[in-house]
Structure 1
Amino acid sequence: MVDKVADKLARLRAQMANEGVDLVALGPGAHIQWLLDYHPYPDERMCLLLIGPNHHAFIMPALNADAVREHTDIEFFTWADADGYADALTAALQKVAPEKVNLVSLDETMRADFALNLLTALPGAKHCFTERSVGPLRMRKEHDEYLLLKMNALIADDAQQAAANAIKPGVTENDVAEAVKNHFIAEGAKPAFDIVGASENGAFPHHHTSDRVLKQGDTIVVDIGGFKQGYPSDITRMVSIGEPSEEYKKVHAIVEAAVQAALKAAKPGVIAKQVDDAARSVIAEAGYGEFFTHRAGHGLGIEIHEPPYISASSDVVLDEGMVFSIEPGIYLPGKFGVRLEEIVILRADGPEVLSDRPRDLVIV
């Protein structure tokens, strides 16, 4: 049986060598979760996983050591509250780091004091973030990750149906969100977020679901996600109470065309910003460019938002195994918003959409 942690560490060290990284420092969070399938409790006490060319070790608060030991046999350099972390940090660096650290790759999500105190202990070292170490490895999903993401996508498909079933005049946005949460829970998933935005509220891309009462003629953005077995879902569909306006139908069709253009553009070897441009160009040419106010997508994995980001500024070269959203939108202030979102995994011949649910407007 393959030792997944050993395999990931070997690939990480190869990545470090290619990038000239002497030391990787990860705080409790998604990067350690990816590596170990577990991460220590995050608090104000310095806790770092240090990975060098040949050795790796934790700087570990003594308070948490016994609990973490149940999940890993990696060497610990422990420190107690009464003594402080300095000696443990020095000892860990002596074990793990080369004599001269020129470049350290920092977990961009770690506490600022962890990062600054580590850099102080490495005089003369330059730093980068994990786009030159763990990041590229996390972007390329393995088959077991794909299976978990696919499972979550299908749960979210049914949660969208639960939302549609709940939508009718007289209920609130929060009532619809509750139906979604109940479905996730019934499927053994943990609800992660819900954006239920009726008509004018749908024009706010990150609307906070409210007690706004739904009425005949509303068009509703339903953007939802949950977690099961450590991986998430994220899907956006549209629902209308009764037949929508001709303007709405026009905008919905433009957004759908933008999704299709982005799906067609997404292939291995393509730069992420080209996928964003494919979606954005459709919307701009239709005269709604100023109303598409966010990037076309984001990566999805252990986190709901992670690299690669499908934005106008992203030079990431897309590759097989990358998972990301395609979610163009048009938001007309005071009227409505339309967003359609798919999660895809990139294959050799293009994207595989994880959802089985059509993007057609659901009319209730």
Structure 2
Amino acid sequence: MTQTQERLALLRQAMTAEQVDLVVLGPGAHMQWLLGFHPHADERPSFVCITADSAMMLMPALNAEGSRDHTDLPMAEWSDDQGPESAFKRLLAETGAATARKIVLDETMRADFAALVTDHLPDATRIFTETTVGALRMRKDEGEYALLKKNALMADAAMRTGWEHLKAGVREIEVAGAIQASFKAQGAQPLFSIVGAGRNGAFPHHATGQTVIAEGQPVVMDIGGGSDGFSSDITRMAVIDTPPEGYDEVHAIVEASVQAAMQAARPGVQAKAVDAAARQVITDAGYGEFFVHRTGHGLGVEIHEPPYITATSDTVLEEGMVFSIEPGIYLPERFGIRLEDIVILRADGPEVFSELPRDLMRL
């Protein structure tokens, strides 16, 4: 059985459990996970439709031939001079989806693609993918684990390269460039490289720029790359020479927050309990107002995907879920500290992908 066949079987089990008649996925991460590819995404309606016993793609003729190199699913083709209406009606008839009463729509699909579906199934109840494809994507198998581990080790190497280039007088953008070059040399695509020196580190999503890095400035380095359809994400702290007064104390608080979240993350625990554990440490230390974001996010085909480790998330954590633990403290006009690791949840707690310590890198 191929990976696609296995995932279709899992999806159909979820559809049966949720009493779903039809799942419609557009070109994007959900389709990539299910089929191992997705066609070029543009304004031409294109999606895959899955029922209990069939699967078929609505496909622009321009993309059909190339897509056949990646899938053997049947296609309802349409050309620009015909439009997609008649092809979609044929798809509904051939798959039996014309009588669907409960449908799942890809929440990332273009609105006009979704409208094509709902216009032809006006009496169907519509939900999104949270309990079907989304739920399945959250639980990684061992093949996905191996690819995520590979990506994490590439990020470790890229972080080390960043440290090697971190010197007084160098600009943030130059360090980021070295990190990106490291990803490329390893066969990965650079996805992001936040380098925030001194006061810039107090902005969690600082736009890396021309700031010249000086001695004594703590530097936030949040980086990620992608290969084999998966990605990495890691944040570490570095400083040239001696950090400013009070830095070590705040770093220790953030590390304690990470450890509290690691201890709280267990199968059967709600995601919000992990966020609460991380947040409580920082609040008790008097820095609660400076922890300004969620504790974590899932990672896999996408850099940000469920589960989200937030104060309001009722998601029950399960073995195989992959997510970040990344609390932070951001002190305006001084510095910011974020320590981030990606973990996979095992029966006895989180396994960290990275092999880099979270200690301050002193250069």
Which TM-score applies when normalising by structure 2? 0.98
SS in 2 for 1:104: strand
Counterpart in 1 of 2:231? 232
Q: Report what 1:293 is aligned to.
A: 292
What is residue 211 of structure 1 aligned with on the other side? 210
Q: For structure 1, list consecutive stretches of 5 or more residues without a partner in the other structure.
A: none
Equivalent residue letter for 1:36: L
For residues 94 and 332 of structure 1, the distance between their equivalents in structure 2, rounded to whole angstroms, comes to 60
Shift, 1:227, TM fit: 0.7
Q: What does 1:147-162 correspond to in 2, within 5 Å?
A: 147-162=146-161
In the TM superposition, what whole-angstrom CA distance separates every residue of 1:321-363 from its partner, at most 9, and x where no partner exists? Answer: 1100000001111111000000000111111000000000011
Cα deviation, 1:94-128, whole Å, max 9, x if unaligned, reads: 22244532221111111111112211111111211
Equivalent residue for 2:189?
A: 190
Q: In 2, are the aligned partners of 1:235 and 1:343 still within 8 Å (CA)?
A: yes
Alignment of 1:52 onto 2:45: no
Aligned to 2:169: 170
8 Å CA contact 1:53, 1:97 repeated in 2: no
User: Alpha-carbon deviation of 1:246?
Assistant: 3.1
- Residues 1:199 and 1:97: Cα distance change in structure 2 (over 3 Å): farther
**Where do 4+ consecutive residues of structure 1 move more than 6 Å?**
none
Distance in structure 2 (CA, Å) of the matches to 1:298 and 1:351: 14
SS in structure 1 at match of 2:350: strand
Residue 237 of structure 1 aligns to a residue in which SS?
strand
Question: Are 1:70 and 2:73 matched, yes or no?
Answer: no
**Contact 1:327/1:341 (8 A) holds in 2:** yes
Which shifted more, 119-128 or 253-262?
A: 119-128
SS of the counterpart of 1:250? helix
Does structure 2 conserve the Cα–Cα contact (< 8 Å) formed by 1:22 and 1:97? no
User: Is the contact between residue 21 and residue 133 of structure 1 (CA under 8 Å) also seen in structure 2?
Assistant: no
Which amino acid counterpart does residue 359 of structure 1 have in structure 2?
R
2:243 matched to which residue of 1? 244
Match of 1:304 in 2: 303
Distance, in Å, in 1 between the alignment partners of 2:24 and 2:97 is: 13
- Residues 99 and 62 of structure 1: is their aligned pair in 2 closer, same or farther, counting only changes over 3 Å? closer
- Whether 2:26 is the aligned partner of 1:9: answer no
CA contact (8 A) 1:167 1:176 kept: yes
Residue 20 of structure 1 aligns with an amino acid whose one-letter code is: Q
Deviations 1:131-159, CA, capped at 9 Å, x for gaps: 12101111111111101110111111111
Question: How far did 1:180 drift?
Answer: 0.3
Matching of residues 27-176 of structure 1 within 5 Å: 27-176=26-175
**Which residue is equivalent to 2:254?**
255
The structural deviation recorded for 1:63 is 0.8
CA contact (8 A) 2:98 2:121 kept: no
- Alpha-carbon distance between aligned partners in 1 of 2:176 and 2:290, rounded to the nearest angstrom: 26
Give the distance between the partners of 1:87 and 1:155, measured in 2 at CA: 47
**One-letter amino acid matched to 1:214:** I
Q: Which amino acid aligns with 2:219?
A: I
Q: Are positions 1:353 and 2:352 aligned together?
A: yes
Q: CA RMSD in A?
A: 0.9
What one-letter code is carried by the residue in structure 1 that aligns with 2:79? Answer: A
Match in the other structure for 2:340: 341
What corresponds to 1:328 in structure 2?
Answer: 327
Q: Which residue of 2 aligns with 1:21?
A: 20
- For the residue of structure 2 that corresponds to 1:63, the secondary structure is helix
Letter in 2 for 1:11: L
2:217–2:244 contact (8 Å) kept in structure 1: no
Q: Deviations over 1:243-276 (max 9, x none)?
A: 1123111111110000000000001001011101
Contact 1:105 1:129 in 2 (8 A): yes
Q: Distance in 1 between matches of 2:227 and 2:103?
A: 33
Letter in 2 for 1:206: H
SS in 2 for 1:223: strand
**Conserved 8 A contact 1:23-1:97:** no
Q: Distance in 2 between matches of 1:335 and 1:103?
A: 53
**Which whole-Å CA distance do the structure 2 matches of 1:112 and 1:281 have between them?**
40
Distance 1:231 1:340 in 2: 21
Give the total of aligned pairs.
Answer: 363
CA distance in 2, matches of 1:98, 1:32: 19
Deviation at 1:290, TM superposition (A): 0.8
Amino acid at match of 2:161: A
8 A Cα contact 2:61 2:79, kept in partner? yes
3-state secondary structure, aligned to 1:181: helix
Separation (CA, whole Å) in 1 of partners of 2:146 and 2:128: 29
SS at match of 1:295: coil
Identity %: 56
For residues 46-80 of structure 1, give each alpha carbon's deviation from its aligned partner in whole angstroms, at most 9, with x where no partner exists.
Answer: 00100011111000001110000111110100000
CA contact (8 A) 1:173 1:209 kept: yes
The alignment's TM-score, normalised by the length of structure 1, stands at: 0.98
Superposed CA deviations along residues 213-255 of structure 1, whole A, max 9, x for unmatched, are: 0111111000000011111110000001111123111111110
